[in-house]
Amino acid sequence: MEDYHKPDQQTLQALKDTANRLRISSIRATTAAGSGHPTSCCSAAEIMSVLFFHTMRYKVQDPRNASNDRFVLSKGHAAPILYSVWAEAGFLQEAELLNLRKIDSVLEGHPVPRQAFTDVATGSLGQGLGAACGMAYTGKFFDRASYRVYCLLGDGELSEGSVWEAMAFAGFYKLDNLVAIFDVNRLGQSDPAPLQHHVDIYQKRCEAFGWHAIIVDGHSVEELCKAFGQAKHQPTAIIAKTFKGKGISGVEDKESWHGKPLPKNMAEQVIQEIDDKIQNKKKLSPALPEEDAPIVNIRNIKMPSPPTYKVGEKWATRKAYGVALAKLGHANDRVIALDGDTKNSTFSELFKKEHPNRYIECYIAEQNMVSVAVGCATRDRTVAFASTFATFFTRAFDQIRMAAISESNINLCGSHCGVSIGEDGPSQMGLEDLSMFRAVPNATVFYPSDAVATEKAVEIAANTKGICFIRTSRPENPVIYNNNEDFHIGQAKVILKSKDDHVTVIGAGVTLHEALAAAEQLRKEKIFIRVIDPFTIKPLDKKTILENARVTKGRIITVEDHYHEGGIGEAVCAAVVGEPGITVTRLAVSHVPRSGKSAELLKMFGIDKDAIVQAVKVAVSKSRNAE
C-alpha cells in the first residue's frame, strides 16, 4: 500500500457527511421496520464511511468481482448500515432501505448471500473474522492478488473464543492483507461489555496474537483514514473507541437501547438534528480495484484416472479419503485441504505431501477451520475439503449451520466414526455426526463403505453445491466394489440379493461388512437376507429401500455405528413412514460407550454380525408366528 497521504479538508468533510447520511438511513430503515439495531449502526458510521468511500477498492455495480476488496460485517445485527452503504454507493435504491426485514425484501435482519454484496451470512456472533481469514489466506497464497479483506467486529462478540482462534490463525500466517476493526462502543445487549472502553487491553491482546494494533477515535474520520493507510507485514487491528447510538441525543452511550428502533416522532427529530450537521450533499465514489485476481474454473472436476483398488484388499475408508483427495488435487489446482492437526489420522497428509502449497494447517481450532474453509470457498475461488475426527465437528456445529445459511460449498470429512475406533474411548467416537449433518439444510451426507465408494464420494462432493459431509472409518475393511462402479447421490446399492430373501438389512461403513458376514452365516442355515449400502444417508434412496423391503415381506433391519437418534435407522423410518406393511428394527449404539477392542465394542452394543443374525431370526420367526 502507498504511503499515507492526509486527505484534504473537503474529503474529510465529505466523509463526515457520508457517515451522518448512513446514520439517518439506518434510523429511517429500522423505524420503518419497527425492529432492528440503530444504535449498533450509529457507532460504526464513521468506520463504514471511511472504509467504503476512502479506503476500499471495489466496483460498485459488480460487488462479487474477484478483484474487489472484501468486507465482512461480523457484527451482523448492524446490517442496516451495510445496506445504507450500498444505497449511498448507488447499488441499492434508497427507497429499498424502507423495506428492511420485510418478507419480500432481500434486506434481511442480518446479512445473507441473497444480497450480491454479502459473501458470508453473519449474525451468530464471533464468526466473521474466521471467514475473513479464509478470504485473506486465499488472496495472499492462492490468488496472489492485491485485494484486501476488512472485517468489522463488535466489542460484545470479542468474548467469543472463535474470534481468538481466528486472531491466532491470522497472526501465525502473517495475513498482512487482513484488517480487523473493533467497534468498541462499550455496551452489549443487556450489560456493558466486559472491558468497556479499556481499549489499551484490547491492543495488548491483539499484539500478543501477532497483530499490529492501532487505537483510534472511531468517530474521527481523519484518524481512521490514517489508521487504514498503515501497512505492516502482519494483520492489522484497528481498535476504534466509539459510542453506541452516536449522534442520537438522549440515547448515545445509554444502556437499554440495544436492538430497539426509535419511535417515529423521536426518529424524525433525531434525523433533523443529524441532517443539520451535513454540509454537502455530494456523494463520494470508491476507488476501483487493481484487476489482478486470476480467472478460476472449479466446475466439473474429474479424477484424472479411475480407482486402482482390488476387490478383497483391506483398506480403511479414512486412508482412501486421503488417497482420493491427493488424486483430486492433480485434477484442479483450486482443490485445497484444511485439517485441525489430525492429518496423520484423517490422511489429509497425503494431500499435503503432493500439494504442500494448497494445504492449510488450522491446528486444534475446529470452529475456525470451518470458518476459514467457508472464507476460502467464497466467490468460487477454491474447492475446500476440511477434515478432522467426526466427533470434533460437533463443536463447530454453529459454524456449519451458518455455512449453510451462507450457501457455502464446503466439503467436510469426519473420520474415526463410531465405537469401531476401539480403545480411545467415547471422547473420540463420532456418534452424533449423522444426526447433526442430516439436520443441516441442503447438506449431502456420504457414508462410503469401501475405498472405491470413498474415492467416488470425494469426486462427487467436489462438484456438489451445499455442505457435503463424508463419514470415514478407522478399521480396515475389504474392498467390495469394482473400480468402474458408478455412484450417484441418493442412489443405494443392493450388494447381496436372492429370490429367497427374508429380510432387508441396511448398513454402512463397518456395519455393512458385519451385515455381509451375517449373511454368510445365515446362508448356512438357509436363511437369506438382502443387503443394502445406502452410500448417501441424506438424501436417502427411498425408492430402492421400499422396492427391496416389499420383496422381503416389509421387513427392514438397520444397523449403524452411531447413536439411535438421528442416524441411519431414523432416516430409514422417515423414508418409509406411512407405507403399509413395513416394519423397521433398528440396531444402534444405545448409550455412552467405553474403551475396548473394536470387535468387543461392536458386540457389546449389538451391532456386529451376531447381533444381526439374531435380529434376522427374530424378525423371521415373528413373521412366521403371525402367519
Contact present, 348 and 322 (Cβ < 8 Å): yes
Grid coordinates standing for 92?
441499492
DSSP state of 289: P
Catalytic-role residue among 366, 459, 560, 570: 366
Q: Which grid cell sits at 607?
A: 451391532
**What is the DSSP-derived secondary structure letter of residue 155?**
S
Which cell goes with 238? 484497528
Cell 450537521 found at: 277
- C-alpha distance from residue 492 to each of 303, 364, 536, 537, 548 (Å): 22, 35, 7, 9, 11
H-helix segments, 247-338? 264-275, 317-331
Q: How many CB atoms lie within 10 A of CB 291?
A: 13
Asked if residue 244 lies in contact with residue 253, where contact means CB atoms within 8 angstroms, the answer is yes
Q: How many whole angstroms separate alpha carbon 203 and alpha carbon 221?
A: 20
CB 182 within 8 A of CB 237: yes
247, 276 Cβ separation under 8 angstroms: no
What is each CA distance from 485 to 302, 388, 453, 456, 500, in whole angstroms? 15, 28, 8, 9, 26
The beta-strand segments (E) located in 191-242 are 212-217, 236-241
Instruction: Return the C-alpha cell found at 449.
Output: 463403505
DSSP assignment letter at 553: T
Question: What is the enclosing helix (H) or strand (E) of 470?
Answer: strand 468-471
Q: Is 354 helix (H, G, I), strand (E, B) or coil?
A: helix
Cα-Cα-Cα-Cα dihedral sign, residues 419, 422, 425, 430? negative
Query: What is the rounded CA–CA span in Å between residue 61 and residue 428?
Result: 49
| Inter-residue contact 467 to 336 (CB < 8 Å) | no
366 classed as catalytic: yes
Residues 6+ apart with CB under 8 A from 179: 148, 149, 150, 151, 228, 235, 236, 237, 238
Tell me: cis bond preceding 539? Omega within 30 of 0 counts: yes
Q: What are phi and psi of 411, to 5 degrees?
A: -120, 125
Which amino acids are annotated catalytic?
A: 366
